Amino acid sequence: MYLRPDEVASVLEKVGFEVDTLTTKIFGYRRGEDYVYVNREARMGRTALVIHPTLRERSLSFAEPALEMKTCDHYTQFPLYLAGETEEHYGIAHGFTSRASLKRYLQCIYGGSGALRESVATQG
């Protein structure tokens, strides 16, 4: 079973991301230059974390995406997908089965604050 969107949001907050956008479809989180979305519509959690598409190659070393392309008009910090029928922003969706695996992934992709490194070390 995958982490639910609220669980993903909780982990993001614990590792230093701060919510800066909240809609019926998404939570948008920022930490420095990094931005991620939590897909609130992913009730079963398989596509709960959405990362910027430029991180695709780096991300593949640490986790297989649940969806190579998740589009939503609310992902305004991400690029537009222009080849579709409608112009929507897109990212790469992931699901995680534990808080520890999500924390490790975030550490690998985004590096970490001291709190994130300490948390990963105690979980690892």
pLDDT in tens, 46-86: 999 999 999 999 999 999 999 999 999 999 999 999 887 88
Q: Give the start-end residues of each E strand in 1-124.
A: 18-22, 26-31, 34-39, 49-51, 67-72, 80-81, 88-94
At the top level of CATH, the class of 5-123 is alpha beta
* Domain edges within the chain: 5-123
Nearest to 77 by CA among 65, 87, 90: 90
Q: pLDDT grade, residue 118 (50/70/90)? A: very low
Task: Yes or no: say if 94 and 60 are a contact pair by the CB < 8 Å rule.
Answer: no
DSSP state of 79: -
Q: What's the whole-model pTM score?
A: 0.88
Q: Return the closest-CA partner of residue 115 out of 19, 15, 8.
A: 15
